[in-house]
A and B are shown apart, each in its own frame.
Chain A
């Protein structure tokens, strides 16, 4: 870790309410973000946990300027970005990237990996096409895919390979920040570690910042420096990793911990003790 962390993204009292209609067609408000404030430092990984509907993805969408806020501020690199129009935001777009849960549905099935990665560099004006082509091969190499993958279509690749390509695509425009929305949830347990180790290495090499969303606290333990816990649109717990794992405060965090492999193994032991 660096000595004095420099803030990359600051979210200040971000609030977002979705207006929905209930079963009886009454208008109801759902507060997805309730005065959320947080800071993401350069080169840092923040683990984000919370049950479905707690506002995790809305937070990611808000930072990436894909959702308007009702109130609050998002500051990236000293610039307030949440109030910008789409064209004003365009210069920042390439600096803020996202990797989704299901790699198969996040690629255009008609595009090869090369065209997908080139497409991601469309807003990178300082490089010419030949340079970008070379960069595609470098990026694939960075995520441990050989150059033959450049000509492959999504259906020709496994889930793990595709998720590597999705990470390469997010890295292509040289971003400062990547929102990783459960990037390993659709992958088999035996290869999740490959993706986690890859992300750890890439971060050392590029000092990109991550928000890593996951239900799996074990992954969070490997990858995150700090952990945030969201519950019903609010930030209910935040702190460094050790603090959250050793002294979980919120009931939801405690439940999450007890549902892990180690938690269940302890439970199984306790049960066999009572049965005998």
Chain B
């Protein structure tokens, strides 16, 4: 069952005289009960997508087209009071900088209790008790006392736990975590990811995890959506996308994380395109080792390789049957030659 269905979503940012085309006809489905990762580099549109779901985009953003269906309703058409019944209650979000997401002037327990009362009412005492309870559930030691502490009294990892407690107090059906572990120590990262995974399982919720780190995907998720330059490049199960990649960008990105044991570290030549520009073909074509004439001229179709496994590449099938052995174009710039095996 599809919990969140994003269809043909295009979002522009108006920055001064420039128009940045951040999302370009994005389609993705988040299945209920899945732990779906959205992977991409900076500027790929992964955070914009997640902010659009909760309608938290800045005023410079303009939704040009598309729909975000959740629970039979298009979130993009909800008014402000309808949104309040969704945000926090049905869909909760954890942000990258935990400390910046907390109000420095109030004890953390009160901030959690406020959210609980906003959605469920009840007495202040009950809400406070519930706040202490969820703080304890996230593994914060001595939660009764810590609930009275202010954000500055928490370390980065502990503040992230507070944020997770805040997200789970209303038992949301969908939890969106936007780079929840960047900025934390590697050893703390694992703890926070474990906690998120446990909380999602206990709530029987769905997880949408935004990250640029493939190690995080492996640690936490069972499905992956790969984004590049405002588009979805590939999606499917962890096994399909990482094990049987059918998109050159995914293949190249994975190489950057592999242990190759050679002297040179792998990287993707070139840089991400300027998102103010538009182009006729595939966004990755200029950096793609396998790019042919058609890639520069026509937008790639989304090919369904097997159920759930989608790839936006003209040569998705060839890539998958031939693996990464497809002969790269000489000097990366030559077009028009046949795909050879």
Closest to A266 in B: B218
Contact in complex: B219, A193 (CB < 8 Å): no
Q: How far is the CA of A259 from the CA of B212 in the complex (A)?
A: 15
* Chain A residues whose CB sits within 8 angstroms of the CB of B252 once the complex forms: 190
Q: How far is the CA of A248 from the CA of B188 in the complex (A)?
A: 19
- Which chain B residues numbered 236 to 255 have a C-beta less than 8 Å away from chain A? 238, 252-253
- Which chain A residues numbered 224 to 262 have a C-beta less than 8 Å away from chain B? 252, 255-256, 258-262
* Chain A residues whose CB sits within 8 angstroms of the CB of B263 once the complex forms: 200, 222
In the assembled complex, the CB of B329 is this many whole angstroms from the nearest CB of chain A, namely 19
Partner of B212, one of A51, A189, A197, A219: A189
The interface-forming segment of B3-11, B103-111, B265-273 is B265-273
In the assembled complex, A122 has its CB within 8 A of some CB on chain B: no
* Chain B residues whose CB sits within 8 angstroms of the CB of A51 once the complex forms: 185-188
In the assembled complex, B189 has its CB within 8 A of some CB on chain A: yes
Closest to A265 in B: B218
* Chain A residues whose CB sits within 8 angstroms of the CB of B257 once the complex forms: 189, 218, 261
In the assembled complex, B82 has its CB within 8 A of some CB on chain A: no
Partner of B187, one of A196, A221, A252: A252
A-contact 0/1 string along B215-247, CB 8 Å cutoff? 110110000000000000000001000000000
- Which chain A residues numbered 78 to 92 have a C-beta less than 8 Å away from chain B? none
Contact in complex: B266, A193 (CB < 8 Å): yes
- The A interface is mostly helix, strand or loop, or mixed, namely helix
In the assembled complex, the CB of A191 is this many whole angstroms from the nearest CB of chain B, namely 6
Contact in complex: B268, A268 (CB < 8 Å): no
- Which chain A residues numbered 131 to 175 have a C-beta less than 8 Å away from chain B? 158-161
Q: Number of B residues whose C-beta is below 8 Å from A? A: 32
Q: How far is the CA of A196 from the CA of B259 in the complex (A)?
A: 14
Q: How far is the CA of A158 from the CA of B218 in the complex (A)?
A: 29
In the assembled complex, A192 has its CB within 8 A of some CB on chain B: yes
Partner of B253, one of A158, A189, A218, A252: A189
* Chain A residues whose CB sits within 8 angstroms of the CB of B189 once the complex forms: 259
Q: How far is the CA of A51 from the CA of B187 in the complex (A)?
A: 8
Closest to A51 in B: B185
Which A residues are closer than 8 A to B by beta carbons? 23, 51-52, 158-161, 188-194, 196-197, 200, 215, 218-219, 221-222, 252, 255-256, 258-265, 267-268
List 23 A–B pairs whose Cβ atoms lie within 8 Å, in order of A's numbering: A51-B187, A52-B185, A158-B271, A159-B42, A160-B271, A189-B213, A190-B252, A190-B268, A191-B267, A192-B265, A221-B259, A222-B263, A222-B265, A256-B186, A259-B186, A261-B218, A261-B258, A261-B259, A263-B215, A264-B216, A264-B219, A267-B218, A268-B218
For the complex of A and B, 9 pairs with smallest distance between CB atoms: A193-B267, A193-B265, A190-B268, A264-B218, A188-B41, A261-B215, A51-B185, A196-B265, A261-B257
Given pairs A259-B215, A264-B216, 13 additional interface contacts (CB within 8 A): A51-B188, A188-B41, A190-B252, A190-B256, A190-B267, A215-B185, A255-B190, A256-B186, A256-B187, A259-B190, A260-B215, A261-B214, A261-B257
